Amino acid sequence: MRIPSGCSNLETTTIVDKVKGLIFGAILGDSLGLATEGLSRSDVREIYGKGPIRFGMGEDGLPFHRDHYRSKFDENDFGDDAEQILLVMESLLENNGHFLSKDFAFRLRDYSEHVWKQRSNLKGASGALVRAPLLGALKFWDGTTVVENTADCCRVTHPDPRCIISCVIASTLIAR
């Protein structure tokens, strides 16, 4: 990530650290969320009580609940939200830091045909919103580019204007 001088009051190393934290946090959050994704609040209470849910290499906590959906994942795995973030990153790396919606759409189609259909059965997940923060970090100093990239990325899977504005708000908050 090339960060132009003078675009922020923060040191470049601090900015890079924040972007890494955003990426790792999103992936870890998705991994933690698999334990309860798609469950009702009462189901979570019944299965996990007051927790905590075991995560990572430790032995402490309640084991990961195995039902039809979660049986498709390994321990400490992550789901489609993290995979979509990784697809955006892969596309950015292949295109010299430029977001190209067609390239991302092709990658997403390939992913959905070869991975997602085999593992996921949740309906109505909003992967567009989980991709938005990464697009806020990309060229954060250029608000127009942040908005355009975010809207283009959202339109690939969620063309509804309400989805687009939600994504733009999230990415703009990250950019600022």
Give pLDDT, residue 127.
77
Which neighbouring-strand residues pair with 53? 62
Q: How far apart are CA 163 and CA 157, in angstroms?
A: 10
Give pLDDT, residue 2.
83
- CA end-to-end span of the chain: 17
- 133 upstream amide cis, omega within 30 of 0: no
Task: pLDDT band for 80, please (50, 70, 90 cuts).
Answer: confident
**Residue 120 clears pLDDT 60, i.e. is over it:** no
126-161 confidence digits (pLDDT tens): 679 999 999 999 999 999 999 999 999 999 999 999
Mean pLDDT of the chain: 90
For 87, 88, 99, 101, 156, the CA distances from 105, given in Å and listed in that order, are 10, 10, 11, 6, 6
Q: Which of 110, 112, 76, 100 is nearest to 155 (CA)?
A: 100
Give pLDDT, residue 52.
92
Q: How far apart are CA 57 and CA 94, in angstroms?
A: 33
Q: Tell me the percentage of the chain whose pLDDT exceeds 70.
A: 93
Three-point CA angle 142, 95, 27, nearest 5°: 75
Q: Residue 2 carries which side chain, given as an amino acid letter?
A: R
What are the extents of the domains in the chain? 78-175
Q: Kindly give the interhelix angle for 80-94 and 12-33, rounded to the nearest 10 degrees.
A: 150
Chain-centroid distance of CA 152 in Å reads 16
15-73 confidence digits (pLDDT tens): 999 999 999 999 999 998 999 989 999 999 999 999 999 888 788 999 889 999 898 88
